[in-house]
Amino acid sequence: MKVIVCGAGQVGFNIAKQLAAEQNDVTVIDRSPKLIRKIGNVLDVQALVGYASHPDVLEQAGARDADMIIAVTLFDEVNMMACQVAHSLFSVPTKVARVRSQSYLKPIWQDLFSRENMPIDVIISPEVEVARAIMRRLEVPGAFDMIPFADDAVRLLGIRLDENCPLVNTPLRQLTELFPDMSVVVCGISRGDKMIVPSGDDQLLVGDDIYVVTDTEHMERAMAVFGHEEQAARRIVIFGGGNVSVFLTEHLLASSSQFHIKIIEANADRAEAIAERLPKAVVLQGDALDTELQNEANVQSAETVIAVTNDDEVNILSSLLAKQAGCSRAITLTNNQNFGHLMKSMGIDAYVDPRETTVSSILQHIRRGRIRGLQNLAGGMAEIIEAEALETSPLVGKPLRDIRIPDGIMVGAIVRDGEVVVPRGGTVIQSEDKVIIFALSNMVKKVESYFSVRLEFF
C-alpha cells in the first residue's frame, strides 16, 4: 500500500514507523528540514520537505498512485486542504485528517466533511480521543486501561498486579479450574520492558501489568479476581481547562448527576469562560502545583484527579502532589512517550498518551481485512484487534487446537450472535463471528492475513 503522511511530528513519525515496518511504501511530507532529516535517517521512508497542501508537493510525493493520505500536521486547515487537493486533483481513495479545533466538529456543521463539500473519509480529533480514553479508565476503577469491543459485549482490561492479587504465582491454566464459569483470558503480560503472550504454564507476578479479555458482564468479578475492588469515582478534580477538560466534564455531568467536578485552570480568562460554559462544575483559577489551591479544591477527599494541562511536567507533579495529599487515584496526560515508562514507578495509576490514542484511531482505518476495531497497547508493543471472520479464513471451521496459530498471537474472545464464547482448544470459529485477537506488533500482518478477503470468496 502506498501512503502519504503529511506531518513529521510525533504522530506522523509513529504512523510512518509502523507502516514502514509492515513493508508499506511510505512518503512523509513536512515543511521542517530538521524533522525530515531525522525521519529520513531513522526510517525506511521517502522524506520530502514542503507544504503538504501544495499540489506540486503532493504530486512529487506520488499522490497520483497513492492509496491513502494521512494529514497530521500541526494545522487543521493544512490537513483539510491537503485532503481536498488529494481528492480533487489526484483522486486519492482514502483521506484521513487530524482536526483539533472543536469548532469544525460541532454537530451543526456535520455536513462539512462530506463527499460533496470537503471529502475527508476519517476525522481524528486528539482531544476527543483523549477524553474518551479517560472516560473509559474512569468507568473501571482499578484498571489502567479499558477498551470495549463487539458493541461492548467484550472488554479488554489493563490491570496492574499487586500483593492483593490472589492469583500471583498461580499457573494460568488453573484459571479455568478455579473459575470455570467466568469468561476471562489473560492475553498479554507486560513485565519490565517486555510484552509476553503467555502459555498455560506462565505465572503472574507482583508488579506485572496484564491485559485481560473478559465478557463485559463478568468485568467487575474479573477485577476482583485480580485484586481490584475500587469504588467508582464521583468526586473528581481536573487540572487544566483545555478542550479535553471541557469535553470530559460535559459528558460526565450529562451522564450522571452524581459527579462533583472541580477544575483548576491557570489562565484567568479561560477559567472565566469555562465557568460560564460549565455552570454545574466548580472552576478555580490558579496554578495546579499550588498546594493551597489543591487543598481548596479538596483533592484529599477526591477519588480521582485528572491532570490534562498542556505541560507534561505540571501534569505529573500535580498528580503526585494530589496523591501525597490523600487522593485515591491519579490519571495523567503525557505527550512525552519516554515518561510513560516512569508512571508506574512514580505511583501514578493510569496515564493517557495522545499520540497512542491518535495512532490507534488511524491504524484502525489502515489495517487490511475485516478489521472492526483496534487499539495500540504498551507504546506499540502489541495490538488488540476485533475482526470479522470470513468463510475463507484459515481460522474458520477447525478446532483452535488444530490451527497452528504462531507464538505472539492469542484469541481472547469470540462473539457469535451477541453471545460471548470463551476460546478453548475445541472451540471452532464460524463465519461472521467477531474475533478478538491480541497480537505482538511483529505479528499484526499475520493477523491481517487471517481476515483478508481471498479470491475464492467471490
* Number of C-beta neighbours around residue 454 at 10 A: 12
146-224 is classed in which CATH architecture?
2-Layer Sandwich (3.30)
User: Looking at the domain that runs over 235-327, which CATH code has it been given?
Assistant: 3.40.50.720
Each of the 458 residues of the chain gets a pLDDT tens digit; together they read 899 999 999 899 989 988 898 888 999 999 999 999 999 999 999 999 999 999 999 999 999 999 999 999 999 999 999 999 999 999 999 999 999 888 898 888 888 888 788 899 999 998 899 999 999 999 999 999 999 999 999 999 999 999 989 999 989 989 888 888 888 999 999 998 899 999 999 999 999 999 999 999 989 999 999 999 988 899 999 999 999 999 999 999 999 889 999 999 999 999 999 999 999 999 999 999 999 999 999 999 999 999 999 999 999 999 999 999 999 999 999 988 778 778 888 889 999 988 888 888 888 777 766 788 888 898 889 999 999 998 888 999 999 999 989 999 999 999 999 999 999 999 999 999 999 999 999 998 889 888 875 433 33
CA 374 to chain centre: 8
Q: Does domain 2-124 have CATH number 1.10.600.10?
A: no
Q: Where are the domains of the chain?
A: 2-124, 146-224, 235-327, 363-457
Angle made by CA atoms 30, 97, 107, in degrees to the nearest 5: 145
Neighbours of 92 (CB within 10 A): 25
415, 436 in Cβ contact below 8 A? Answer: yes
Instruction: Using alpha carbons, select from 320, 317, 312, 311 the residue that is nearest to residue 338.
Output: 312
Q: Name the CATH superfamily housing domain 363-457.
A: Regulator of K+ conductance, C-terminal domain (3.30.70.1450)
Domains 235-327 and 363-457 share a fold: no
Q: Would you tell me how many other CB atoms lie within 10 Å of the CB of residue 456?
A: 7
Task: Note the pTM of the prediction, 2 decimals.
Answer: 0.87
